[in-house]
Amino acid sequence: MKKKKNLWSFAVLPLYLFTLVFVVGPLVYMAAISFATNKEGYGVLWRFTTENYRKILDPVYLETFQQSLKLAFSSTLSIMLLGYPFGYFMAKLSDRRKKRMMLLLVIPFWVNSLIRLYGWIIILQTKGALNGFLLKLGLIEKPLKMLYSYPAVLLGMIYTLLPFMILSVYSSAEKMDWSLVEAAMDLGATPAQAFFSVTLKMTLPGLLSGMILTFIPSMGLFFIADILGGNKIVLVGSLIQDQMSRGSNWPFAAALAVILTFLTTLIIYLYRKITHVSELEGLY
């Protein structure tokens, strides 16, 4: 028994070392730099200060956080409204059709995300495919300015993150016991009542997982805002990247990253609390 325990400890040791070196280590270093003083030119001075965090309270940077949260909530809500029905009905398909739909969802991942986003530039630009199609149908009289706008960035977020919501909901809906829905309807529940009382509760973990997988990345996918927003939409990720490259202010960039990490950790904590409560309700 002791030999098995020692072998198990030895087997997981590389995992612990990897976590310490490549996860815990960078996070601790980032937090330490956030309290350091910026050095003119390049580098940092290891002089303790809280000025980097006080600087975040500047209205300009608070507006950046507000804009990032607004985009994250908007994209997550849109993805939820589109992805939940898709994943739900996908789980009810036959095995052959499930495989086909799964293949269609995975195919875009075979192409680099930057290339796919540049494809949206071709579609959304003034002389692009979408404006040409709308002009031919007579729905518009002159080309619409869709590119380099908030809706274009929102569309890019939805396009990039929608598969994560669909797959999360699908994984929950596929494992669901459909006989419970039939039992609820046999007891007099309408389809809507059966959905909200049984289906939604049983697929809630997948829905919440999809929301986490879409909300958190949408806070930091600054390259989507840069490509489709034309630097008009500034996210927290864009600000961090700008401070580390152009501004060379690593302590302030680290402070921004710490706040962003805190927000994402808080969201994950709330997700775990909600899922725990829903599991307890399911038991009773």
Domain ranges, ordered by start, for the chain: 25-37+47-265
pLDDT at 283: 42
pLDDT at 281: 57
To the nearest whole number, what is the mean pLDDT of the chain? 85
**DSSP one-letter code for 187:** T
pLDDT at 256: 92
Of 35, 36, 55, the closest CA to residue 45 belongs to 36
Read off the pLDDT of residues 142-188 as tens digits, 9 standing for 90 and up.
Answer: 888 888 888 899 999 999 999 999 999 999 998 888 888 888 888 88
Burial 30-39 (b: 16+ CB within 10 A, else e): beebbbbebe
DSSP 3-state of 44: strand
pLDDT at 130: 87
Residue 162 and residue 82 in contact, taking contact as beta carbons nearer than 8 Å: yes
pLDDT at 3: 56
185 vs 90, 142, 191, CA distance in Å? 22, 52, 7
CB atoms within 10 A of CB 260: 20
**DSSP one-letter code for 33:** H
Q: Which residue has the tokens 């669901």?
A: 176
> In terms of C-beta density within 10 A (0-12 exposed, 13-18 middle, 19 or more buried), how is residue 141 classed?
exposed
pLDDT at 54: 93
pLDDT at 1: 54
Strand partners, 37: 45
> Which residues, 6 or more positions from 64, have their beta carbon under 8 angstroms from its beta carbon?
234, 235, 236, 239
197 vs 73, 187, 191, CA distance in Å? 25, 13, 10
Q: How far apart are CA 228 and CA 242, in angstroms?
A: 17
pLDDT at 9: 67
70 vs 9, 62, 92, 233, CA distance in Å? 45, 12, 34, 11
The top-level CATH class assigned to 25-37+47-265 is mainly alpha
Residue 156 and residue 79 in contact, taking contact as beta carbons nearer than 8 Å: no
The amino acid at residue 232 is K
CA 68 to mean position of chain CA atoms: 12
pLDDT at 178: 83
Residues (pLDDT < 50) of the chain are 283-284
DSSP 3-state of 188: coil
Q: Which residue has the tokens 């309408």?
A: 190
pLDDT at 280: 54
Burial 234-249 (b: 16+ CB within 10 A, else e): bbbbbbbbebbeeeeb
pLDDT at 284: 45
